[in-house]
């Protein structure tokens, strides 16, 4: 219960941070990505601020056996680079540049009630489901292939 309240409060702080920083404004995002136009470097400062704080917190977490309100840390452990990571990031970046929204600011901006944001978030949800479907199909096919090769 306490953890759920923490998550809720962290969501609020995260959203306020996004709003103050300019991340909820596609004009700022697209300005940041417009290297050959009127380049607006502001959003680099969002990253500097956020990464610096998190860098310290992560060092701190390495010294703790468990988090304060949970049984264990769940932190990604992979270090390999693969085509899936890079193509996924490239596809995400294309969508980010096209619409000017990434997931956090899009969800936060739903509160504005603006229809374009609602449409973007609905399409984003569809994209997430599409990936789940593709992944399930891939797994089924891989299973069939494995079965077929086991038979032969």
Count of CA atoms in the C-beta half-sphere (13 A) of 69 = 7
Least distance CB 65 / other proteins (angstroms): 11
Residue corresponding to tokens 């969508």: 95
Spatial separation of the C-alpha atoms in residues 131 and 115, rounded to whole Å: 24
Q: Judged by CB under 8 A, does residue 152 bind other proteins?
A: no
Q: Which of 16, 145, 146, 147: binder of other proteins (CB under 8 A)?
A: 16
Which x/- pattern over 19-38 shows residues binding other proteins (rule: CB under 8 A)? xxxxxxxxxx-xx-xxxxxx
| 42: CB partners within 8 A, 6+ apart | 21, 22, 28, 31, 32
Q: Judged by CB under 8 A, does residue 7 bind other proteins?
A: yes
Count of CA atoms in the C-beta half-sphere (13 A) of 12 = 5
Q: Judged by CB under 8 A, does residue 89 bind other proteins?
A: yes
Q: Are 24 and 109 in contact (CB under 8 A)?
A: yes
Least distance CB 136 / other proteins (angstroms): 10
Indicate the residue among 52 and 140 with the shorter CB distance to other proteins. Answer: 52
Q: Are 32 and 44 in contact (CB under 8 A)?
A: yes
Least distance CB 138 / other proteins (angstroms): 11
Q: Judged by CB under 8 A, does residue 76 bind other proteins?
A: yes
Q: Scan residues 122-141 and list those touching other proteins (CB under 8 A).
A: 122-132, 135
């Amino acid at each position: 219960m306490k953890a759920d309240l923490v998550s809720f409060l962290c969501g609020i702080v995260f959203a306020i941070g996004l709003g103050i920083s300019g991340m909820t404004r596609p004009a700022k995002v697209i300005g940041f990505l417009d290297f050959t136009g009127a380049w607006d470097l502001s959003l680099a400062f969002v990253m500097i601020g956020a990464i610096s704080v998190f860098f310290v917190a992560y060092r701190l977490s390495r010294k703790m056996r468990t988090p304060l309100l949970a049984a264990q840390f769940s932190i990604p452990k992979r270090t390999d680079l693969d085509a899936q990571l890079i193509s996924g990031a490239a596809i995400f970046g294309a969508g980010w540049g096209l619409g000017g929204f990434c997931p956090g600011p899009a969800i936060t901006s739903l509160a504005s009630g603006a229809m374009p944001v609602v449409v973007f978030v609905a399409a984003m949800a569809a994209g997430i489901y599409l990936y789940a479907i593709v992944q399930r199909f891939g797994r089924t096919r891989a299973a069939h292939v494995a079965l077929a090769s086991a038979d032969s």
